[in-house]
Structure 1
Amino acid sequence: MSLYRNILWFIKGMREYTRSGFENASKSFAAKDLDVSMVGRSFMITGANSGIGKATAMAIAKKGGTVHIVCRNKERAEKAREEIISASGNTMVFVHVLDLSESRKVWEFAEAFKKEHTSLNVLINNAGCMVNQREINSDGLEKNFATNTLGVYILTKCLIPLLEKSRDPRVRQQVVMTEFWAKAYPKIHFSVMHPGWADTPAVSSAMPQFYHLMRDRLRSAEQGSDTLIWLAMSRVTITFPSGLFFQDRQPVSVHLPLAWTHSTRKEVKAFMRRLETLAISVKHSEGDNI
């Protein structure tokens, strides 16, 4: 079954996720959707020192938004900040150093951010980890899971009170959490998106064979970030129901066609309860393995 799904994924990807797929889809984009000012609105973007995150931060800064870039490497983050300010003329770009794979640090960062800031309009969970060999963090959790799932859960859950009291709050989130939290927190507009296959440092380093094979077909980082930027800034976005999955500015199914993938409501609730338990355990742990 996994081979079958991989074949479906590759066929769909060649048609839709490549540069040509973006070019075809973009013919129906409305330029006016992004003819907006973000002055007075604040955005937090994880993993914003390169690739899709940086392209998103750049676009928001050019529209006047306040941008909080959250990265694990201070030097790279500061370099990205300087480039964004230089290109946009917007000095309201701030660096926060955080490794999302260190779960307790995520708690500490989010709690401190809430105390220091009165509002946050948009949270963009862009940072991701693709470690091909098993690694564990200081809490004994596998690094991909700690970064891509638990870190995202903790950061979002902790910042929800700040988002709820802000104007037109939005969150870009993973699929299952997006659907679950869209129902649990109706004041916030949750969405998730697929960037397509984009030419980013993460792809080239984590998937070298795929990158070498597809390099000439990959989208640029700007093309990969287009729907993310649209979800974060456009007024059109909030006309869609919260909790949807988007690709090239259109809501799409979260499942591949004919792939027979599905999670029951009971399974989703059990998954979210498990994340909550892990998050609380990490918050109060002293670094022992979980």
Structure 2
Amino acid sequence: MKDKTVIITGANSGMGLASSAELARQGAYVIMACRNKERGQQALEQAKQISGSNRLELAICDLQSLDSVREFAAWFKERYPVLDVLLNNAGIMSLKRQITPHGFEAHMGINHLGHFLLTSLLMEPLKAAEQGRIVNVSSGAYKIGKIHYEDITLERGYNAAKAYAQSKLANILFTKELARRLASTQVTANCLHPGAVATSIGVDRATGFGKSVMAMLRPFFLTPEQGAATAIYLATSEEVAEQSGQYFYKKKPQRLSARADDPEQARKLWVWSEQQVGYKVPL
């Protein structure tokens, strides 16, 4: 990874922080994309300390805001002609139904649409890389997921599992269609299930609700470093240089459910996503 340029979203804690430190340790230049400047600065110092590298940089990118995503992408492209790895790691899981400033249900808006727009806007520097890699962090929760086009903001019968699973299924369908559209390029797109990882994903950002539950369950979960292992593998390993459109768990490709492996559903989600973010992807 020496001198490779990497962007990691949600890099201020958990697997994002672990991935930032490890990829910097391996010689990459890492842009830690975080929504909160103060927490991001703390994470930057921590990643430098863990990795023994100063080749890390903080940048602000709030995935719930399409304007913030556009500003970050423009900032990056002004400074860096090449992007070797885009690790779409950020994610939320909220017990309460929340709506983003653009009117999206928060899981779909942050976990999928924010990353959809970010990836689309960074296509030029990804294609300029010797071998660009897009790595999307999904979850085994996709198996209970469905894209509820008839009630996409989940006004009727909201629950956290339904919302989270919908967004994680979207991550996989996005990866499949992205890989199909990138087939004639040197850019690959893969996704993964990190396992049950002890992170702050289920903790309410504003109130801290959920911290005590997570602390109690922590001994039964993987560490962020263990959870990040497959994402790091997909970002770095020569073994997967030719693989694209796959879903990995424990560094191995997995069979997907019929719903997640449906090309027509992947195309439908892509078109819907373009409409929602107001950007026609040049692919």
TM interval, short-chain normalised: 0.7 to 0.9
Q: Which residue of 2 aligns with 1:249?
A: 251
| Contact persistence 2:2–2:27 (CA under 8 A) | yes
TM-score by length of 1: 0.77
- Once residues 101 and 79 of structure 1 are traced to their aligned partners in structure 2, the CA distance between those partners, rounded to angstroms, is 22
Do 1:182 and 1:190's aligned partners in 2 also have CA atoms closer than 8 Å? yes
Q: Deviations over 1:73-98 (max 9, x none)?
A: 11111111111112222111000112
- Partner residue of 1:182 out of 169, 179, 193: 179
1:167 deviates by 1.5
Name the counterpart of 2:198.
199
Instruction: State the shift of 1:254 in Å.
Output: 2.4
Q: CA deviation at 1:245?
A: 0.4
Q: Distance in 2 between matches of 1:281 and 1:88?
A: 37
Instruction: Quote the Cα distance in structure 2 between the aligned partners of 1:64 and 1:211.
Output: 33
- Give the stretch that moved more between structures: 47-56 or 203-212: 203-212
CA contact (8 A) 1:175 1:254 kept: no
Residue pairs, 1:21-40, within 5 angstroms? 38-40=1-3
TM-score, length of structure 2 as denominator length: 0.79
Q: What amino acid sits opposite 1:54 in the alignment?
A: L
Cα distance in 1 for residues equivalent to 2:119 and 2:222: 28
Q: Identify the residue that residue 235 of structure 2 maps to in structure 1.
A: 232
Unpaired segments ≥5 residues, structure 2: 137-170
Contact 2:34–2:61 (8 Å) recurs in 1: yes
CA RMSD in angstroms, aligned pairs only: 2.1
Alignment partner of 2:278 out of 260, 277, 280: 280
Contact persistence 1:163–1:188 (CA under 8 A): yes
Structure 1 residue 122 displacement after superposition:
0.1
Shift of 1:212: 6.6
Q: Which has the higher contact order (CA 8 A, sep 6+)?
A: 1
Structure 2 counterpart of 1:191, one-letter code:
N
1:180 is matched by which residue type in structure 2? E
Aligned to 2:143: none
Output aligned runs, 1:17-56, within 5 Å. 38-56=1-19
Q: Deviations over 1:168-223 (max 9, x none)?
A: 11001221111111110122111101110011122455767974774332111111
Instruction: Say which of 12, 16, 24 aligns to 1:61.
Output: 24
Deviations 1:244-266 (A, max 9, x none): 000001000222xxxx6456433
1-structure distance, mates of 2:102, 2:69: 12
* Structure 1 CA distance for aligned equivalents of residues 17 and 215 of structure 2: 23
By how many angstroms is 1:39 displaced?
A: 1.5
Number of residue-to-residue matches in the alignment: 240
Deviations 1:99-126 (A, max 9, x none): 1001122122212311221111000000
> CA 1:90/1:262 → structure 2, altered by over 3 Å: closer, same or farther?
closer
2:71 is equivalent to residue 108 of structure 1: yes
From 262, 268, 271, give the equivalent of 2:269: 271
Q: Tell me whether 1:123 sits opposite 2:86 in the alignment.
A: yes
The one-letter code matched in structure 1 to 2:197 is: A
Is the helix fraction higher in 1 or 2? 1
Q: Kindly provide the amino acid, as one letter, of the partner of residue 246 in structure 1.
A: F
Determine helix, strand or coil for the equivalent of 1:101.
Answer: coil
Give distance in 2, aligned partners of 1:113 and 1:183.
Answer: 26
Query: Partner letter of residue 165 of structure 1?
Result: A
For residues 58 and 212 of structure 1, do their structure 2 counterparts lie closer, same or farther at Cα, with a shift above 3 Å needed?
A: closer
Q: Which amino acid aligns with 2:268?
A: A
1:251 maps to amino acid: P
Whether the 8 Å CA contact 1:197–1:224 is kept in 2: the answer is yes
Q: Which runs of 5+ in 1 are unaligned?
A: 1-37, 283-290
Aligned amino acid, residue 182 of structure 1: A
